[in-house]
Amino acid sequence: MLVHFTAPTIHAGFEGTITLEIVNLGPKPINLYPNMYVCQLVVEEVKGTPFTNESQFQGQSVPTGTES
């Protein structure tokens, strides 16, 4: 199981629902259950003054780009 790694940062000033994207790259299924802990934590030092970073995800309340 891989936690989405191309956009792991939640930028200062972001408002919206944080969506954890995961993928199973293995040959066997992985069962996920309610209340199961799955996470990725990246800690970065922030220097300077944050600026507005408008994006398509700002203010989202549901995941976008999901497949049914």
- Indicate if 21 belongs to the active site: yes
Of 21, 44, 45, 67, the active-site residue reads 21
For residue 23, the surrounding DSSP H or E stretch is strand 22-23
Is residue 13 helix, strand or coil?
coil
Instruction: Give the bridge partners for 3, in sequence order.
Output: 22
Separation CA 3–CA 42 (nearest Å): 12
Q: Which residues are catalytic?
A: 21
